[in-house]
Amino acid sequence: MEIKVVVVLCGILVSLMPLCLAEDVQVKVEGVTSIAQTDENFVCATLDWWPSNKCDYNQCPWGKAGILNLDLNNKILSNAMKAFNPLRIRIGGSIQDLVVYNVGKAVKKCPHFKKKKNGLFGFSKGCLKMKRWDELNELFNKTGVKLTFGLNALFGKKPSKQDLHGLWVDDWNPQNARDLMEYTISKGYKIDSYELGNELCADGVSARLESQQYAKDFLKLKDTVEALYPDATTRPKVLGPAGFYGKDWFNSFLQYTGPGAVDGLTHHIYNLGAGVDKTLINKVQDPYFLDQIAQTYQDISKTIKEFGPWSGAWVGEAGGAYNSGGKDVSHTFANGFWYLDQLGMTSTFNHKVFCRQAFIGGNYGLLNTTSFIPNPDYYGALLWHRLMGKKVLKINHDGSPFLRVYSHCSKKGPGVTLLIINMSNSTSFEVSVTNDMNLYPEGISSTQLTEDSSSQQREEYHLTPKDGDIQSDMLLLNGTPLKLTESLDIPEMKPNVVDSSSPIKVAADSIVFANLRNFKAPACA
Measured from the Cβ of residue 59, the count of other Cβ atoms closer than 10 Å reads: 14
Q: What is the pLDDT of residues 389-402, one digit of tens each?
A: 999 999 999 999 99
Cα 18 to Cα 24: distance, rounded to the nearest angstrom: 11
Phi, psi of 334, deg, nearest 5: -60, -35
Same CATH topology for 10-36+394-524 and 40-366? Answer: no
Cα 269 to Cα 156: distance, rounded to the nearest angstrom: 28
Residue 496: C-alpha distances to residues 264, 335, 432, 514 (Å): 38, 24, 17, 9
Boundaries of every domain in the chain: 10-36+394-524, 40-366
Looking at per-residue pLDDT, the higher value among 165 and 178 belongs to 178
Cα 353 to Cα 347: distance, rounded to the nearest angstrom: 8
Q: What is the pLDDT of residues 484-503, one digit of tens each?
A: 999 999 999 999 999 999 99
Examine the pLDDT at 316 and tell me if it is beyond 90.
Answer: yes
Q: pLDDT band for position 436 (50/70/90)?
A: confident
Average pLDDT, whole number, for the chain? 94
Q: pTM here?
A: 0.94
* CATH top-level class of 10-36+394-524: mainly beta
Contact 507, 460 (CB under 8 A): no
Cα 11 to Cα 9: distance, rounded to the nearest angstrom: 5
Q: pLDDT band for position 456 (50/70/90)?
A: confident
Examine the pLDDT at 222 and tell me if it is beyond 50.
Answer: yes
Examine the pLDDT at 37 and tell me if it is beyond 60.
Answer: yes
Phi, psi of 21, deg, nearest 5: -65, 115
Amino acid sitting at position 116: K
Q: What is the pLDDT of residues 323-340, one digit of tens each?
A: 999 999 999 999 999 999
pLDDT at 163: 86
Contact 420, 463 (CB under 8 A): no
Rounded to an integer, the average pLDDT of 197-213 is 98
First to last CA, the chain: 55
Cα 525 to Cα 522: distance, rounded to the nearest angstrom: 5
Domain at 40-366, CATH homologous superfamily: Glycosidases (3.20.20.80)
Rounded to an integer, the average pLDDT of 186-196 is 99
Enumerate the active-site residues: 199, 317
Q: What is the pLDDT of residues 279-304, one digit of tens each?
A: 999 999 999 999 999 999 999 999 99
Examine the pLDDT at 79 and tell me if it is beyond 70.
Answer: yes
All residues at 6 or more sequence positions from 248 whose CB lies less than 8 Å from its CB, including other chains: 211
pLDDT at 437: 79
> Which parts of 357-423 are beta strand (E)?
388-397, 403-410, 416-422
Cα 266 to Cα 500: distance, rounded to the nearest angstrom: 39
